[in-house]
Amino acid sequence: MADSWPGKRARRQTHWFWLTTCIVTAAFVFGAAKLPSNSWPTSLSFPSNIDPRADLDPLPNVDVAPTPLQQATRTDQVRFDNYSLFLNDQRVFLYSGEFHTFRLPVPSLWPDILEKVKAAGLNAISVYIHMGSVNPSRGVVDFSGFRALQPLYDAAKAAGVWVVLRPEVSAGGMSHWTTAEVVGTLRTNATDWKAAWQPYIQGIIDQTAPNQISNGGPSLVYNEYQQTPADHAEYFVDLENAYHASQIVVPLTYNDPGPRMNFINGTGAPDLYGLDAYPQKFDCSNPTVWLPLVPSDHAYHENVDPSRPFYYPEFQGGSSDTWGPAGLGSYVYFRIQNCVVMTGPEFQSVFNLQVWASNGKLLIFTCFMGLWYSGTSWGGIPFHGVYTSYDYGASVHQRIKGVTPKYDELKRQSFFLRSSPDFYKTDWIADTSTGLAISSSPDATAVTNFKLNVATSFGDLQVPITAPAITLNGRQSKVIVSNYAFGSSSRLVYSTAQIFYAGTIDGRDVLFLFGEPSQAHEAALVLTGTPHIIPNLLPFSPGIQGLMTVWDSDKQLVLFADSATAATFWSPVIAGKATDPFKNFWSIGSNTSILYFWLRMTLRGDLNTSVHLSVIAPRSIRTVTWNGKRVLEDPAASSALTGIGGFVGMLKRTPQAIIVPKLGGWRFKDSLPEINSGFDDASCENVVLWRGHFVASGNEKTLNLSMNGGEAFAASVWVNDVFLNTSFGGSPRSLRTGKDNIITIIQDNMGLNESDFNNPNNSKCPRGVRGFKLDTGNFTEWKVQGKIGGYNRYYPDNGTGVFNEGGLFGERKGWHLPGFDTSMGLPGSAAGVGFFVTTFELNIPQGFDAPMSFVFEEPFGQPYRVMLFRVGNVGPQFKFPVQEGILDYHGVNTVAVALWAMLPDTPVTPDLQLVLDGVFEGGVGRVVTNNPKWSAIGR
């Protein structure tokens, strides 16, 4: 069954695009190249009413009156009309992912991520800035180390990727210190809130202004909030005034959280309005069950903002998983794979193309838990509703830094967009009727077969003509084109096959079609050049797997492949003039590319197995190298690929055994001396310790505590050195009558509340002990211990940042840092916290990328929590990827675990090991390791 929009179509002059959608399941076949003998195009001709030799040039003009270009802000290098952006006077369809640099705190690895962005055909990346890390305390703005922006801008410019900067994140967009020190309402025009954010925003301006498009850089800026009440809108005015009073000239954009009509116009309205959409929301428990499709947002956009392009600053790219059911030791293993399935390639096919059908031309794939590259919520930075892993269906997997089937689907979409500039300006015509039954029910099993009435330069046709039908296998969408121009002078009359690539290579017009091998496809086009042996109507029978050369002349090259094979091809952008600062940006500084396939990105890449390399390039190329080594050509295979500019060779992966050490030799120290009677707390985020003093009369029976640490937080309580649990109250034998008694509490802080649009002060909801009462008597004093140095500028570990350490004794002493010599000892069976430290050495050969993870290999369900340094509060998961640059791949590494045993006399036997996730020949080059060493200063 088709959904409610079975025949969306849009047009640009004489070029027509139909978007067809069905809700069932798409099949992906990964097999060796093979072509059934009966699948080649046969000698078929057009119906008698069609003349394939007809002149294609005289076509009726059906374009609507153009909307004058609007200048977004103070530069004519960024403009827009009601269709799309113009960058340097080039119309651009912004197709972007999202990348949080602070979740990959190794700047040396950022170019690898941005090269993957470009290799997939995307042209932009949206980047959050973690205000809490950059601005950890009043007056401190720190863009050093992993907080730096310049390495990101440099990598983006080198890759040819635009940057959409989002300066607010963490508790809805503010540094944690502001939740305690700002009296006024957060995220309003309150005077003290304005004074709090101004140094941070000025820091963003200073870092970004030299990297704007007006200075040859890659950056563009946006934000999110609600326009009412008035002090919200005035807050936006304050922000805009700060930018406009500076060197920032690129547009300020906005993300409306749902279609709520915020900031379209009126007080605080930005240059560009956009809205977000998460059509499948965030419940991954039943990943194959989809929510009903909602109506197209096109009508909303036309109603509220028709003069500007349709912009999605946030569109669902993944989904999140939450903590399991409450109860000690009962947290379930996270359901990441469910989220991957729910927002997988089928989701992208249906919902991404639904945005196209709504005439959206600016689209950023994001999710607060599933983006382009996933990464890790290091230290204490997570939102308290989730845990350490940020990998909920990202296109690039953090564990192996490798591409996924979602990456493949996004690449097929992106390459079509890059090849189809006429699609950047289309007029939405209607939700047309094709005779299909209409349904919004996401049927996961149905197959829809239909024919479509299309307008062509030869008149209206019902297609396909010879194939039985257009088929949608389940949850699948297709773009059906007619009068589609490609290359310098060629045109498709129509095609029910999908377009992967269209362009010009070495003077020849090249068209690369693809389709599912279980379906029939068909294309009609005027073929030119010599030889003339293939008819103009090209049917593709079911069963085609691998690559086939359909037409190979001196004027044109036409290829067809199954969907999986098409995804193994790449089309790197060939840089333009060396003096052009935008030489790496597609359509702005270069319109030249080549085609090649297998493994990734450019002729510098990674291999995990030996493969054939096929290249379609200018015929003048005589030598092909891979990672600096010459590739030997197979002349026969090259000629079979194409007679002009083809090259086929073999990439042989060098066998390399890489063995990671088994972790052992753990050293232990008790990290909760605070429960001992002799502990001196006179000098007394993440983990916080509380000590409450009272003089006991001997009659105390109960203790009532009110605490808050965020969702899924835990707390353990001792009276003097006696452990209390949820069913064990204080005993008179535990108290020292007439003397000082101490209640010791250890709790974890899971992060602050997100700033609610209706209650910006929601982030001020306090963590810690909020109430305390003895049944008789009173406390004399309370003391609290957090991270050493607090949030002021005096904390010693600036390298890893303010969120990396908590208040455990071992953290305060720096036991987790390389170079600290812990003494020997073994833990007993009591509840408490111990520090375990060991070292291991790595020696990974140069020229190889070997992703690794720390894995807890014991059975689930043991009542403990750990802090794994440098990962952080690990949550209910067992595998934690740690990248090169955090690990020293050519030296000695220190790993520390703060183990919090939560019950006495209960076995806790964690088994932590380092595992190898893969080996890729090629690597990312020199990676800088910046791990702080232990020092007594400040400890």
pLDDT tens for each residue of 530-580: 765 455 889 999 999 999 999 999 999 999 999 999 999 999 888 888 899
Task: Indicate the range of 39-48, 369-378, 432-441, 785-794 predicted with least confidence.
Answer: 39-48
Task: Indicate the range of 12-16, 35-39, 679-683 predicted with least confidence.
Answer: 35-39
- pLDDT at 14 exceeding the cut of 60: no
pLDDT tens-digit readout, 361-382: 888 776 433 455 667 777 777 7
Contact residues for 563 (Cβ-Cβ < 8 A; gap 6+): 28, 29, 412, 498, 514, 515, 516, 517
- pLDDT at 828 exceeding the cut of 60: no
Alpha-carbon dihedral angle through residues 79, 84, 90, 96, given to the nearest 10 degrees: 110
Closest to 704 (Cα-Cα) out of 784, 765, 776: 776
**How high is the pLDDT of residue 441?**
44
Choice between 739 and 758, residue whose per-residue pLDDT is larger: 739
Q: Provide the pairing of β-strand 162-166 with 124-128.
A: parallel
Choice between 866 and 139, residue whose per-residue pLDDT is larger: 139
pTM to 2 decimal places: 0.85
Cα–Cα distance list, 153 to 144, 160, 210 (Å): 14, 10, 10
pLDDT tens-digit readout, 644-693: 888 899 998 888 888 899 998 888 888 888 887 778 776 545 678 888 89
pLDDT tens-digit readout, 288-335: 888 877 766 888 999 999 999 999 988 988 887 666 543 333 334 446
**How high is the pLDDT of residue 5?**
28
Task: Indicate the range of 407-416, 431-440, 868-877 predicted with least confidence.
Answer: 431-440
**How high is the pLDDT of residue 743?**
85
- pLDDT at 598 exceeding the cut of 80: no
- pLDDT at 771 exceeding the cut of 90: no
pLDDT tens-digit readout, 445-479: 678 899 999 888 888 999 999 999 999 988 899 99
CB 330, CB 281: distance < 8 Å: no
Q: Please report, rounded to a whole number, the percentage of residues in the chain having pLDDT higher than 90.
A: 30
How many Cβ atoms sit within 10 Å of the Cβ of residue 773? Answer: 13
Highest mean pLDDT among 95-104, 156-165, 255-264: 156-165
CA distance 877 to 5: 40
Q: Please report, rounded to a whole number, the percentage of residues in the chain having pLDDT higher than 70.
A: 79
- pLDDT at 500 exceeding the cut of 90: yes
Closest to 452 (Cα-Cα) out of 19, 1, 15, 61: 19
Task: Indicate the range of 318-327, 350-359, 593-602, 694-703 predicted with least confidence.
Answer: 593-602
CA distance 250 to 72: 7
- pLDDT at 784 exceeding the cut of 70: yes
